[in-house]
Amino acid sequence: MDKLIKCGKFFSASNQTVKNNIAVIIRKNLIIDILPLDKISNEDNYEVIDLLDGFVMPGLIDTHIHCNLNGTFESFGQSYSLSPAFYALKGLPQIQANLMAGFTSVRDMGCAGFSDVALRDAIDQGIHWGSRIFTSGLPVNTLGGAGDSNFQPPYQGGSRNHMRAVVCGVEEARQAARFNFKYGADQVKMLATSAVLGSSDEAGPQELTYEEMRAMIEVAEFNGKISAAHAIGNKGIKAAIKAGVTSIEHGSFMDEEAAEMMCEKGIYHVPTLIALERILEHIDDKSIPSYAIKKAKDCEQARIKAFQLSLKKGVKIAFGTDAATPYNKHGEQAYEFVLMVKYGMKPADAIISATKTAAELLRWDDRLGTLEIGKLADIISTRENPLEDISALGRVSFVMKDGEIYKRE
Ligand SMILES: [Zn+2]
């Protein structure tokens, strides 16, 4: 039997318009019709879902999460003592928390041992339930870079293994990208610069060279796939832009010229404002290393300026949260919307960044991101109107993914 969702308020995310009293008809996992409610002649032909008190919109997409971690500081080095299978099992409830919070799709930005690929496939095949996952496989780092925290002495195996991709030079970078795609990654994720949670003193310095990044991006292009660069400092941001990356993650110290280059090349900015916000709220927590606190403080104002620069210049902003970093828990990341609006984005645009724009970044816009006939039935609802109070997105009351209901309050 087809499903009929009666929507009090309906926001397709194709544009800024809100419509009242709309019917959405769903057959299996697809939206097959959208029409005014009064055009429905006989409701008995449908399984009726009454969301007349709701604000109905597309399922949200978080384009930057890490399935392996969940809101506590864990050094990447710990990965080596546990199996990829363990990490996949550990990630499952975290992916489920994302779905229950209305994030029907997520992009994993790098994990241990292809555990994101295992989770993606188990969920797609119906073995487990959770958000739809866009995967990265192993994030690619330079030798000694932000993600290379294996300090086992070389005689005990060094830093090369199946848990992390650590490269030095163009040929190794190319191999790492090919290795990732071979084992099921949907994109190549690279660390262009050092990171707040890596053990370096500064958060900005470039780590991968332009040539190394270009080699990986070329492999992604050969495979018809996208690429993403963690990039904090301006030099690394510009090198990644020049190399043709699809999205800049964080982008904290980008300057006007970088923003203009991103506009020109259609590169996305994923600001992840919440990640540092949560660390800065807990600067007295001894479990977060002092080097991470220091670097979070260094980037505190810069990340806000970068977000506002992207807004001003018209850079495409895709919603992403880095869910998993300290105190930034899966399922609680809708606070990013509050920050985006606080720093100048219109509420409707903030929702579009997590639906239409996010789907375009992942090249999933043929099936997701807006509520239109022919798209997958990923649909959520809130009781309050998020255009009036953006924090309503933290209180999602209805979640449907692929035509199936996972939450209904
Ligand atoms: Zn991240």
Q: 182 C-alpha to center of ligand 1: Å?
A: 22
Write the DSSP string, 207-238. Answer: -S-HHHHHHHHHHHHHTT-EEEEEE-SHHHHH
Answer whether 148's CB lies under 8 Å from 141's CB: yes
- Tell me, in angstroms, the distance from the centre of ligand 1 to residue 54's CA: 33
Q: Nearest-CA neighbor of 34 among 59, 5, 58, 55?
A: 5
Distance 261 CA to ligand 1 centre (A): 23
- Tens-digit pLDDT string for the chain (409 aa): 999 999 999 999 999 999 999 999 999 999 999 999 999 999 999 999 999 999 999 999 999 999 988 887 764 555 556 788 998 999 999 999 999 999 999 999 998 889 999 999 999 999 999 999 999 999 999 988 887 777 666 666 555 556 678 999 999 999 999 999 999 999 999 999 998 888 788 889 999 999 999 999 999 999 999 999 999 999 999 999 999 999 999 999 999 999 999 999 999 999 999 999 999 999 888 888 888 888 888 888 999 999 999 999 999 999 999 999 989 999 999 999 999 999 999 999 999 999 999 999 999 999 999 999 999 999 999 999 999 999 999 999 999 999 999 999 9
CA distance 177 to 335: 33
Instruction: Report whether 317 contacts 311 (CB < 8 A).
Output: yes
Q: What is the pTM of this model?
A: 0.96
CA of 312 to the centre of ligand 1 (A): 24
Residue 381 CA to ligand 1 centre (angstroms):
27
**Which residues have beta carbons under 5 A from ligand 1 (an ion)?**
109, 322
Rounded to the nearest whole angstrom, what is the distance from the C-alpha of residue 188 to the centroid of ligand 1? 13
- Rounded to 5 degrees, φ, ψ at 407 are -150, 135
Q: Which domains does the chain have, with CATH numbers?
A: 3-59+371-408 (2.30.40.10), 60-333 (3.20.20.140)
Ligand 1 centre to CA of 390 (Å) is 24
